[in-house]
Chains A and B, each alone.
Chain A
């Protein structure tokens, strides 16, 4: 897969490069605003969707090595559309355009990648939202436990036994899983 020259925008987001992020807004904010506002959204909606999409692209570049094989604008619009459709679906509103048009525009692989990105970031958001609901002690234990540091050292730092830490970590994770499972009901 040939990497598109617009990959530089992804690099710019990854480095929080001021001129590149400014350029993204200058060139593409209008396109996204136009799409959202013509499809029942407000300026606020457009701003939120645009910002969230850029952070999603950052996350995917940081953790999933996102590589563009199409123009940045086309990919960004696909991601924003997915987000907008998801919001509309939650409100019980119908989709506004046919996805076959998007597929014929960018190709199936790009379309699939945008869908995958939206799904992964949506799940990550759900996980982190539910994590935020946990008690502070649980958050602290899980955050420390997932750093990769030896559990014995973490237990020492928290002033608890290794056995207690393992038990508590398991309980906190089980609670978190139950929160996540409840969201799907």
Chain B
């Protein structure tokens, strides 16, 4: 933009141009998309400043509250990537100081806990025998990666299988498990909940994996809610008991 600088843009938006200047400026805007974009940006800047410069006491209070809650729910000061272990609650520290034996047990527990969760969550993806169906070929390909624990590679294939055949409970179920293994808990829960709600043969398995996603976050209440959906006569009940005992 050779002719019009920022001062011109400001004067235009703030209605400070003479009629002659205004006509020439608007004509230039029609032929110069960059000038038009800069005018739009200045309008946006003004709107944002008008909204956010005045003191907002609620936002300030919300920032303070979330800063406090961050200290409770995260571990500030941990600069290295987390290992994925389950965190020990902060309030356990004084208890541990008072009882060394208990502390030793608690300190050893997280990695063991995660290891056992992994063991409980292990499953193989069953092969698909039908031929010539697009969903099945995607599932077969996904099964190879899934069973090699390359869940990030299995995930897009399973997603493709779900898109290709929205009624495929098998694809949805394994999509949920693969998503869980890759850390996409929302996709995992969304997929597994659908499997459970649709009452497929994998309904109880879906409930078990839902419980696992919550157990990993140490959300015992939600995990138990899902475990209780598994009938005591169901084959999955044994694993369900193991998980419940583990959380105790």
Contact = CB atoms under 8 A, between A and B. Distances in A.
Contacts of A63: 51-52
Interface string B9-52: 11100101000000000000000000000100110111011111
Contact of B74 (A43, A62, A171, A180): A43
A154 interface: no
B73 interface: yes
Interface stretch (A3-11, A85-93, A96-104): A96-104
A118 interface: no
A58 B51 contact: no
Interface in B182-225: 182-187, 189-190, 216-219
A43 B78 contact: yes
Per CB-CB distance, the 6 closest pairs between chain A and chain B, nearest first, are: A38-B183, A30-B217, A47-B74, A37-B82, A43-B78, A174-B6
A152 to B, nearest CB: 15
Contact of B10 (A25, A41, A51, A170): A170
A156 interface: no
Contacts of B79: 42, 44
A177 B6 contact: yes
A178 B162 CA distance: 49
B233 interface: no
A170 B5 CA distance: 12
A26 B216 CA distance: 14
B66 A54 contact: yes
B73 A29 contact: yes
Nearest to A52: B66
A16 B58 contact: yes
B159 A42 contact: no
Contact of B6 (A44, A147, A173): A173
Contacts of B63: 51, 55
B81 interface: yes
A16 B49 contact: no
Nearest to B190: A105
B129 interface: no
A185 to B, nearest CB: 14
Interface string A53-73: 011001100110000000001
Given A34-B185, A101-B156, A127-B45, 16 more contacts: A16-B65, A21-B62, A25-B72, A26-B73, A34-B216, A35-B183, A37-B81, A39-B183, A41-B81, A44-B76, A105-B187, A127-B44, A127-B49, A131-B53, A166-B16, A181-B38
Interface of A: 13-16, 18, 21-22, 25-27, 29-31, 33-35, 37-44, 46-47, 50-51, 54-55, 58-59, 62-63, 73-74, 77, 97-98, 100-102, 104-105, 123-124, 127-128, 131, 142-143, 146-148, 166, 170-171, 173-174, 176-178, 180-181
A33 B183 CA distance: 10
A51 B70 contact: yes
B80 interface: yes
Given A37-B81, A55-B63, A105-B186, A146 B9 contact: no
Contacts of B6: 173-174, 177-178
Contacts of B52: 59, 63, 124, 128
A30 B98 CA distance: 28
B159 A43 contact: no
A58 B59 contact: yes
A166 B62 CA distance: 36
